[in-house]
Structure 1
Amino acid sequence: MNKENKLFPYFQPIVGAACGNIIGYEALARQHDANGRVISAGALFSSPDIAVEQLITWDRMIRRLALAQFSQTNFNGYLTINISAAWIDQLTDFNSLPTLMMLDEFNIDRSRIIIEITESKGDLDKLVEIAGVYRRHGLKIAIDDFGAGFSQLERVMAIQPDIIKLDMKLFQNATKGGIASDVVCLLSRLAECTGCRIVCEGVETAEDFHFGLSCGAQYLQGYLFSPATATFKKPLQYQQQISSLRKDFLNKALIKEKQKIQFIANIKHLIERLKTNLKADFNFSHLAAHPFKDSGILRFYLCNNEGDQISSNFNFADGKWFEDDTQFGFNWAWRPYFYQLLALESVKDSYRIVTSEHYRDFNTDMLCKTLSIRLDEQSILLIDIAAEWA
């Protein structure tokens, strides 16, 4: 039996975090190994020993089989079809696209089909052109493996996809925390700003699912629910499981929020004491009497109304305070937490705390936030805190 006869489609469900239903499937190429087991055909399609024309022929054959099977189901969701960006370069007539002809053949509602552009290769101008053709015919566009390289970011800006699928390796690394987590959250915010839906691939554990929710992902896909299978499942197959996962997430989120509220209360109390000390004859011995250990406060410093730093940095680490004057004279007027405070004062909403976005501190590599608050008419108090506490 030749390789062509061994190739066939399998379907991996994609679930909706809010509804708990299976809202779509991704069609994936499969084949049998020497022992008759079903395995991914990815190695075959990435082989440099097979002509591109042959691979395209096999790919279209699998696509046609997937669409034929999809057309025979009662499932009302969508189907994602993978198309290699590199293979799009082989197209010469955008008025006669094979996928559109297949949809006509099987009488499939085009609004239920998503074209998922894979791989980082391919001519960007052609990708933009073909994406426009698909959209004019009612299909949606997804970018696969987002976060795997700059080319993907370039594609997002050019194609403006309807759906972004986060790179599986990046997502799984992000669940462990660190900078990968920061990147995924940033990419999620970018997607929200551009109106894209986020799909998290590679969801294998409850922790993966919870991390996806915390990043704002609406759709999730992975072995936690199901690998790709030969048939379509009942839409409510995982509703109870997802409901339980959401409840666990809510319980954990509530615990964290309560801790955050208590932390904020403690921070406000310490800030008032700090302000009192700064307005008097400030010295480190006064600060040592207050419970800054485990408070999350990393440092504080003073600026004038023009944003110039008029004090040293007073840093707290290992239970002790120490002074660092290397940033004396720096100007921070361009930071949002500084000019936002001045703007609030201009509308008589003064003496409140303004909080920055999360950022990673260059010196400590810690995730931080900066708080700004009016100390007196001439100076503003800036306080850096560990964001993991907040």
Structure 2
Amino acid sequence: MDEKFELFPYFQPIVSVASGRIIGYEALARQYDKQGRVVSAGHLFASPKLDTKQRLELDRKLRRLALQKFSEIDNSTYLAINISAAWINNLRQLNALPTLKMLDELNIDRQRIILEITEAHADINKLREIVKRYRQQGLRVALDDFGSGSSQLERVLAIHPDIIKIDMQLFKKASKGGIASDIVHMLTRLGKRTGCQIICEGVESDNEFLFGLNCGAQFMQGYLFSPAAAEFKAPNLYEQHIGSLRNKYFRNTVSKVQKNIEAINAIKSFIYKLKDTLQADFNLNELAKWNFSESNIVRFYLCDNEGKQISPNFNFTENHWFTDPRKIGFNWSWRPYFFQLIALESTGDCGRIVTSERYHDFDTDLLCKTLSLRLDAQRILLTDIIVGD
């Protein structure tokens, strides 16, 4: 094969946010450019200049070099090696898995190897069977670039990966807020619910690391700690740095949660006052004098014990109240904040305000929560409030 396609492996550390230690590496393809600089060679595996056989030969040669280098270190770290889903389609026999043969020849503990299934298309049934065989042989499986394509959820259902790596571009967008942030939080929750460990890739700044912590990621990978390098590093190299970042996250989050608790308590006091007022006839103009602008309340309405809305929405905006009857007759009994309140009362826990998760309000596009509270024996008070990011 042409010398310009001679590749060699570099290794990028993956760190644990809990221990601060390097727990593994991802093997990445590198080559020299015309100026003799080390550059990424990942593009070659999709290059039209190489046929399938040539790309496969490059891939397996690189994999062997990475495993050979990894076999020389004596610690508990793992190595993640990329396996293109396209290669899986090219296997004629499901039992003919060259990676397993390499591991046996190099005497590498299979529990220290993770196979990262990359983004290319593959037959789902074949992929499921291949992953099953790898697992039977003691290897773990990661799903790379999660969130980058429509096929990803199908793969989660098919192979139940041990590890999910959040797509780098999506993660970077998410760290700046907006809907991308909501998507990454949703993906990390999915990982937790399915028992997958979460790795955030492309972490380059303290703020991105802190965002990863906020998402619940257990592991991080990126230039904040190290680019891919030719040699492995001491497992405890980044402990102090990660410890400092954890402490910063802890202090900032405690302060933020304290402020949120204070704000919620103030709103709850306001709602209890509203409850007392609603026991009798009330005047919306009188309510406007309560300074609702500082309460973050945008509307309230009443439901019966079956969840049916029996009042109009009482909306507050620009220091004025107005009523909107369009939701009268709607039933909200299926919403968690409603049936949780009823369930608490059935256990004798009465008088508590039950709070929903955050959501974007359809009418105002604001980020809101709904608070539910027993008004009297027949009615329940629902209050929508604005919340911060």
Same fold (TM over 0.5): yes
Given that 1:303 and 1:382 are in contact with CA atoms closer than 8 Å, whether structure 2 keeps it comes out as: yes
1:263 aligns with 2:276: no
Equivalent residue runs for 1:61-80 within 5 Å: 61-80=61-80
What whole-Å deviation, never above 9, does each CA across 1:333-374 have from its counterpart, x for those lacking one? Answer: 111111111111122212211122222222222222211110
Aligned-partner residue type, residue 7 of structure 1: L
* Equivalent position of 2:137 in the other structure: 137
Shift of 1:270: 0.6
* Equivalent position of 2:286 in the other structure: 286
Given that 2:285 and 2:321 are in contact with CA atoms closer than 8 Å, whether structure 1 keeps it comes out as: no
Rounded to whole Å, the distance in 1 between the matches of 2:176 and 2:329 is 38
Given that 1:120 and 1:151 are in contact with CA atoms closer than 8 Å, whether structure 2 keeps it comes out as: no
1:195 aligns with 2:195: yes
* Equivalent position of 1:127 in the other structure: 127
Question: Any unmatched runs of 5+ in structure 2?
Answer: none
* Equivalent position of 1:152 in the other structure: 152
Shift of 1:288: 1.7
TM-score normalized with structure 1 length: 0.96
Query: Identity of aligned pairs, percent?
Result: 59
What whole-Å deviation, never above 9, does each CA across 1:265-301 have from its counterpart, x for those lacking one? Answer: 1011110121122123212222222232243222211
* Equivalent position of 2:38 in the other structure: 38
Aligned-partner residue type, residue 170 of structure 1: L
SS in structure 2 at match of 1:150? coil
What whole-Å deviation, never above 9, does each CA across 1:54-110 have from its counterpart, x for those lacking one? Answer: 111101100000000000112321000100001110001222311000101110000
Given that 2:118 and 2:145 are in contact with CA atoms closer than 8 Å, whether structure 1 keeps it comes out as: yes
Rounded to whole Å, the distance in 2 between the matches of 1:48 and 1:364 is 50
* Equivalent position of 1:218 in the other structure: 218
Rounded to whole Å, the distance in 1 between the matches of 2:39 and 2:294 is 51
Structure 1 stretch 375-384 or stretch 14-23: which is displaced more?
375-384
Aligned-partner residue type, residue 358 of structure 1: R
* Equivalent position of 2:312 in the other structure: 312
Structure 1 stretch 43-52 or stretch 109-118: which is displaced more?
43-52
Aligned-partner residue type, residue 45 of structure 1: F
Shift of 1:3: 4.2
Structure 1 stretch 87-96 or stretch 192-201: which is displaced more?
87-96
**Which aligned runs of 4 or more in structure 1 are off by greater than 6 angstroms?**
none
Rounded to whole Å, the distance in 1 between the matches of 2:91 and 2:341 is 56
Question: Any unmatched runs of 5+ in structure 1?
Answer: none
Equivalent residue runs for 1:234-249 within 5 Å: 234-249=234-249
SS in structure 2 at match of 1:177? coil
Shift of 1:131: 0.3
Equivalent residue runs for 1:367-382 within 5 Å: 367-382=367-382
Rounded to whole Å, the distance in 1 between the matches of 2:288 and 2:275 is 15
Rounded to whole Å, the distance in 1 between the matches of 2:35 and 2:208 is 33
Structure 1 stretch 62-71 or stretch 333-342: which is displaced more?
333-342
TM-score normalized with structure 2 length: 0.97
Aligned-partner residue type, residue 106 of structure 1: L
What whole-Å deviation, never above 9, does each CA across 1:209-239 have from its counterpart, x for those lacking one? Answer: 1111111100000111111111111111111
Rounded to whole Å, the distance in 2 between the matches of 1:63 and 1:320 is 68
Structure 1 stretch 26-35 or stretch 287-296: which is displaced more?
287-296
Closer, same or farther: CA 120–5 of 1 in aligned 2, 3 Å: closer
Aligned-partner residue type, residue 12 of structure 1: Q
Closer, same or farther: CA 45–258 of 1 in aligned 2, 3 Å: same
Equivalent residue runs for 1:75-114 within 5 Å: 75-114=75-114
What whole-Å deviation, never above 9, does each CA across 1:123-161 have from its counterpart, x for those lacking one? Answer: 111110010010000000000111112210110011001
Rounded to whole Å, the distance in 1 between the matches of 2:127 and 2:294 is 52
* Equivalent position of 1:324 in the other structure: 324
Given that 1:277 and 1:286 are in contact with CA atoms closer than 8 Å, whether structure 2 keeps it comes out as: no
Shift of 1:5: 5.4
SS in structure 2 at match of 1:371? strand
* Equivalent position of 2:387 in the other structure: 387
Rounded to whole Å, the distance in 2 between the matches of 1:262 and 1:53 is 64
Rounded to whole Å, the distance in 1 between the matches of 2:109 and 2:324 is 65
* Equivalent position of 1:351 in the other structure: 351
CA RMSD after TM alignment = 1.4
